[in-house]
Structure 1
């Protein structure tokens, strides 16, 4: 009996000992550990409270740390902050900044949470891609970059800046260049069919070039032929883009979708129906949108008749000084000014003549004692001029923003606040203040959806094995500061930006490290 009691007691002690033992945690070593954040992974609707471990350039661990002992070289406490995939901007004009080593950090985009920019939009790309890809790799860039080949650039190389159709040999020449640019790393082709020389191309020409891109599993990004009533009209321009996708069998991405000017207001419902119908047909149609009611472009592009500028600026002024043509040019310019909402709606944001900046066309025309349409030619004769054009209404902006196939884009170029503030503005104005969309809609359609559209692999989602492009921002202070009186103010509220596993922004300040890469298809 005594031996039996001893055996029972021993077994009980062993049982208690085993019950109290906790599983031994396995050590996991990472470079960066993000803890305590409100994590939106780029796909899910609801956030989670998990830790993220980064090792080298990849996401190495995601979880609650209950089963692993995570040893990190650097720990980031993200308490009260939102952790998200880095934003992907599908339409920028960051090319010039990336080309210059003094601005290649790409701070206007970096400080609003953008970790990847697309360049070569609107049919204009720096040519050849191989040259600029090598430049970026040698000098370093602050954000990742996706390169497109511009249709207008290619057309200018082969056909020139002439208002005529390309012949068969010229189309073959353009196809050859596009194939070389795709081989060099372009993700697809961009068109600027509103701008010269792209506006001189027929739909058939564009389809013939788009088919080369389709053969290379690329995408088609387009500034539509018309966003108002300049030529064929907004809805026919949407239908043209869809037809290009239908015949060339490649994804169609409409850049900065909008209803521009009084002739096109309230057409968003019709456009949405047309695009949804095309999507049901199996045509992959998507769009991006910047969260502002003013567009921006050159004064020449916004109001001067396209036919009049065929051949370039010298040809434009030759025609303008020709009495038989001047009256027609002025009349069409006057009509185009009205389409933009009037001369008081065209604000000069960048000009060689600095005294014009901050004034609208009506004010300058009075200053020059000219009609607004005459003042246009006085102004552009002095050099390139950019305008912000106040020509959209909230109804259309809201309608487009709520579509699952519309993602955030900036169209960021000098002089308009969208270059410095698009993503935080969308969050602050349309998520927080107006509640037009949810925070998960904003994040998902600024990250994973954009990566899917652009065919960017292993980015846009917080997932083990994906590249570590991660941002952390303060939900209370994340907002844009740039406006139309001062378009060069960095956004606030971004606490951290991690690009390819390296810290680019730390506690709200840029680290001056060039962590970006030219992305490959």
Structure 2
């Protein structure tokens, strides 16, 4: 008996000594018992994560260290992931507004970093915008892009003409100025005026400035349908820009818009992957909805008629020499989008129009859909949701490892509030297009690599502590086309730069993001 007691005491003593020799980690926050996807590995692990100030200081087994933390989060039954990084948003006006800069529509999706300045349209100058955001405080981290359309407009106005050598020199200087202010790259909106008035040579010249600054080229391409050069030639132009300017190119967004180009995704994937094999760094983002969103004017009015701005458009429209041509081309563009019944008004100065299709409004006004366009545009900016994508192409693109999640989130479309949880709920849980590990990688580390964001997008020691914890059973979008302003559910914790922004499903009021600088 005494021998057994002595042996038991010896074992206890050894265990005590071993526990005393474990490395000690002092932390602000400890996350334990969660299913951890680190953004790199496809399979999850059961690991503990310790945070000190704004960094991750430990990732590993709890029993290997002695962690002393001020706050412990029990993540049992939940998924622990890097915070999502959104490469394409329209949160620009929210972030420099002190009432909206908490960025809650994105926070509750699990987004911890947003990108602004997309589609060729950026704040100018970026340094002033950066200062406003820093004064207000921002709810998420912010990545800035310089918009080609913004720069072109400052140098050349909204006119439809080719840039001279002097014009290009001035634009190069302004692009360099904005890169110096911390832009991560340049965006183009070649489908929109005034970007649509530029040629490839102009874009290559400016992209070379971006390349010298180790930036990226992000593009809403010249065509996603059959408006001008066609979808596949627009892909080829993007590849050419990447080759000639020697910089990474990123398509915002990859889609086949309209019946005439449905099911071209197979050909497009082959073209892009052939370019990748030849050394072109080309990627894309995608939102998981069958409806796009844009301005009614941008969607259906011919670009040549817009030259000089909206006032010039209406002068031409009232001119009998141009009116019939404008109406005919507008009618053709409505047909490209699938007809007036597919164009849903989601934002208008006249609230009676919201929630109605262009067809319904035209019937109420007793005029043709193409004439109705100009009647309602007289009242101001009209935003539409355009139901013109095929589920086959959406799933086909989504399965590619070089296609990441991007919301294109702006007011009036549910994607501002629901993109990331919708992709998870519909395409991971319901349709099994992606597994959970792939969804997380394509929303975190792959996006960080594309944007060249350092030390974010992965749960690794030494990385910034941008971490989300969500319930896999309840993580879901709630925003719809008829009610686009509903916060997503299921994110239990959001930690940004080591500070808790969502705590047990409730917003803490903290504006813990920063404006990142390259």
Whether these two folds match at TM > 0.5 is yes
Q: Quickly say closer, same or farther: Cα 1:20–1:189, change in 2 above 3 A.
A: closer
Which residue of 50, 57, 74 corresponds with 1:53?
Answer: 50
1:3 corresponds in structure 2 to none
State the 1:67 CA deviation: 2.6
State the 1:263 CA deviation: 1.0
Alpha-carbon separation, structure 2, partners of 1:15 and 1:114: 52
Counterpart secondary structure, 2:259: coil
Which residue of 476, 486, 489 corresponds with 1:489?
Answer: 486
1:338 corresponds in structure 2 to 335
1:501 corresponds in structure 2 to 498
Which residue of 162, 165, 170 corresponds with 2:162?
Answer: 165
Alpha-carbon separation, structure 2, partners of 1:318 and 1:300: 15
Does 2:113 match 1:111? Answer: no
Alpha-carbon separation, structure 2, partners of 1:460 and 1:356: 41
1:79 corresponds in structure 2 to 76
1:401 corresponds in structure 2 to 398
Which residue of 59, 62, 67 corresponds with 1:62?
Answer: 59
State the 1:265 CA deviation: 0.3
1:462 corresponds in structure 2 to 459
2:367 corresponds in structure 1 to 370
Equivalent residue runs for 1:139-218 within 5 Å: 139-218=136-215
TM-score, normalised to structure 1, is 0.97
The one-character-per-residue Cα deviations of 1:420-476 (angstroms, maximum 9, x if unpaired) are 000000000000000011000100000000000000000000000000000000000
Alpha-carbon separation, structure 2, partners of 1:386 and 1:317: 18
Which residue of 431, 444, 456 corresponds with 1:447?
Answer: 444
Equivalent residue runs for 1:72-471 within 5 Å: 72-471=69-468
Alpha-carbon separation, structure 1, partners of 2:482 and 2:9: 76
State the 1:402 CA deviation: 0.3
State the 1:21 CA deviation: 5.1
2:510 corresponds in structure 1 to 513
Aligned residues: 513
Alpha-carbon separation, structure 2, partners of 1:19 and 1:311: 83
Does 2:472 match 1:478? Answer: no
State the 1:520 CA deviation: 1.5
Alpha-carbon separation, structure 1, partners of 2:319 and 2:210: 42
Alpha-carbon separation, structure 1, partners of 2:11 and 2:362: 91
Counterpart secondary structure, 1:471: strand
State the 1:69 CA deviation: 1.5
State the 1:12 CA deviation: 9.5
TM-score, normalised to structure 2, is 0.97
1:7 corresponds in structure 2 to none
2:3 corresponds in structure 1 to none
Deviates more, 1:505-514 or 1:344-353: 505-514
Alpha-carbon separation, structure 1, partners of 2:89 and 2:11: 65
State the 1:114 CA deviation: 0.2
The one-character-per-residue Cα deviations of 1:118-167 (angstroms, maximum 9, x if unpaired) are 00000000000000111111111000000000000000000110011110
Unmatched runs of 5 consecutive residues or more in structure 2 = 1-5
Alpha-carbon separation, structure 2, partners of 1:123 and 1:477: 36
State the 1:168 CA deviation: 0.5
Q: Quickly say closer, same or farther: Cα 1:471–1:17, change in 2 above 3 A.
A: closer
Alpha-carbon separation, structure 2, partners of 1:456 and 1:290: 21
1:5 corresponds in structure 2 to none
1:6 corresponds in structure 2 to none
State the 1:19 CA deviation: 5.3
Which residue of 34, 38, 41 corresponds with 1:41?
Answer: 38
Counterpart secondary structure, 1:92: coil
Alpha-carbon separation, structure 1, partners of 2:508 and 2:117: 27
State the 1:18 CA deviation: 7.0
Alpha-carbon separation, structure 2, partners of 1:486 and 1:506: 26
State the 1:26 CA deviation: 3.3
Larger Rg: 1
Alpha-carbon separation, structure 2, partners of 1:179 and 1:92: 23
